[in-house]
Amino acid sequence: MTEATVIGLGEMGSALAAALLRAGHRVTVWNRTAAKAQPLVQQGAVLAPSAEAAIGASAVVIVCVSNYGATRDILLAGNTAAALRGRTLVQLSTGTPQEARDTQAWAQVQRAAYLDGAILAWPSQIGGAETTILVSGAEAVFRLNSALLRDLAGNLTYMGEAVGQSSTLFSAVLSYMAGRWIGLCHGALICQAEGASVASFGATLASLAPILGAESKHLGEVIESGNYGHPESTLKTAGEDVERLVQQAKEAGISTEVPAFAAALFRRAIDAGHGAEEHAALIKILRP
Ligand code: NAP
């Protein structure tokens, strides 16, 4: 028996297995494409000949593959599911809250304990003291496995018994990140069109990180409290600034796609009478 099994040895699964090995754990690994296990075998991992054998090798089975569909492909093949009986399945593939709930119910039928996690880090950060992995599921199961999981992420965060909570927060963070990535690329177009350094733009964003973080915290509190009435900068002011980005894009001959999308949302919110409120009042026009 090894202490943990890692199924899925892509960028993230390999990083998880390597972190466990670095922390001194005995680790069994399995991947559909077996060749990806070689670097880990050189670091001391045991390569199992099948997913079923990999599950049988440890009391804790961590799965990190592309998505929950890939997880099902692995666990529903042959007798693999039966091997989970009495073991703890830790799902670290990215999914939706509903997929987490469905997988918990499925694991229960297999008589396996289940934890659902979400990784808020790049593979190179796995094992770091400040690395965050969110975990939800039965508290007793979390406590039993928290020492092992903390070797993956120093900032291991328990989200509670409701198993969909980790992927809920992950999805919300990803939504924020998606906006950032899109905004960064349009900002880079602006810089390039005007001969400004895109690397300096990135550095400026990095220097603004604490302010942007504080703003996110503030807007979260505004939405939770429903108190949109005391803005330092109104939604109308921001909306008009964003509309000016459309003008700038036309003048520079670059794509207007991103600012036009953003400006249309702000315009709808202003037209709906929210111009004097906090920027976060945009949420009011996004609700059904
Ligand atoms: P990846 O490098 O593309 O690896 C995908 C893994 O899934 C491989 O092991 C692949 O096996 C396996 N796989 C896919 N479909 C499969 C199937 N039908 N049957 C069996 N195995 C299958 O992706 P990754 O970056 O490691 O991401 C893995 C998970 O971590 C994802 O859910 C991702 O959202 C999450 N995550 C990643 C990051 C990141 O920065 N990379 C950050 C946070 C969360 P083969 O090798 O055989 O193709």
- Read off the pLDDT of each residue in 76-101 and give the average, rounded to a whole number: 96
Q: Which mutation among 6, 7, 12, 122 tests ligand 1's pocket best, with the greatest number of atoms within 8 A of CB?
A: 12
pTM of the model as a whole: 0.91
- What ranges in the chain are assigned the alpha helix state H? 11-22, 38-42, 51-56, 68-75, 97-109, 139-150, 165-193, 198-225, 235-252, 257-269, 283-286
Q: How confident is the model at residue 7 (pLDDT cuts 50, 70, 90)?
A: very high
Check whether 209 has a pLDDT greater than 90: yes
- Non-local (6+) Cβ contacts of 81 within 8 A are 75, 110
Asked if 207 contacts 201 with a C-beta cutoff of 8 angstroms, the reply is: no
Please give the share of the chain, as a percent, with pLDDT higher than 70. 100
| Ligand 1 neighbourhood includes 11 CB (under 6 angstroms) | yes
| Ligand 1 neighbourhood includes 124 CB (under 6 angstroms) | no
Ligand 1 atom closest to residue 120's alpha carbon, by position in its atom list: 43
156, containing H or E segment = strand 155-160
Tokens matching residue 160: 């509670």
Return the pLDDT at 104: 97
Q: How confident is the model at residue 219 (pLDDT cuts 50, 70, 90)?
A: very high
Ligand 1 atom closest to residue 14's alpha carbon, by position in its atom list: 26
Return the pLDDT at 1: 79
Instruction: Calculate how far, in angstroms, residue 10's C-alpha sits from the geometric centre of ligand 1.
Output: 5
The sign of the torsion formed by the CA atoms of 128, 131, 137, 143 equals: positive
pLDDT in tens, 172-200: 999 999 999 999 999 999 999 999 999 99
Q: How confident is the model at residue 2 (pLDDT cuts 50, 70, 90)?
A: confident
Instruction: Calculate how far, in angstroms, residue 238's C-alpha sits from the geometric centre of ligand 1.
Output: 39
Check whether 233 has a pLDDT greater than 90: yes
Check whether 57 has a pLDDT greater than 90: yes
- Read off the pLDDT of each residue in 162-167 and give the average, rounded to a whole number: 98
| Ligand 1 neighbourhood includes 72 CB (under 6 angstroms) | no
How far CA 284 is from CA of 143, 175, 225, 226, 269, in Å, comes to 39, 17, 14, 10, 8
| Ligand 1 neighbourhood includes 70 CB (under 6 angstroms) | yes
Return the pLDDT at 288: 87
Strand pairing report for 132-137 and 113-120: antiparallel
Q: How confident is the model at residue 255 (pLDDT cuts 50, 70, 90)?
A: very high
Instruction: Calculate how far, in angstroms, residue 66's C-alpha sits from the geometric centre of ligand 1.
Output: 3
